[in-house]
Amino acid sequence: MTSDTSFPHNKGFPYNVGMNVTLSLDDDLVKKVRKIAVERETTLTGLVREYLEEVAAEDSARGRKRREREALEQSFQKFQFKIGKRNWTREDLHARS
């Protein structure tokens, strides 16, 4: 049996029950951000959650790109071909008979 940890929020935004985190923030900053949250029809918690989700997604994307780049570099090393000395010039390639 699975349990649903999502409960409806009073404005239709889902509230996911999870870990509570305590932050120490300046009172003026909290007041400013709460006003922004009201303008965006969300909460201070919602804004923090959205920001942290964006940070995590960006980090995941960077990690994926790094892994892909490393795999590409390894394949270049693994399948390195010896072609020999270049004995042609650009002009030779574009010369017309």
Q: Which of 53, 52, 48, 10 is nearest to 29 (CA)?
A: 48
53-67 pLDDT, tens digit per residue, is 999 998 888 888 888
pTM of the predicted model, to two decimals? 0.51
Amino acid 45: pLDDT: 93
Q: Pick the closest to residue 50 from 19, 10, 11, 15 (CA basis).
A: 15
What average pLDDT score do residues 37-64 get? Answer: 92
Sequence ranges of the domains in the chain? 23-78
Q: Is the pLDDT of residue 10 over 60?
A: no
Calculate the alpha carbon distances from 78 to 72, 81, 82, 85, 90 in Å: 10, 9, 12, 21, 29
**Predicted pLDDT at 2:** 46
| pLDDT for 31 | 96
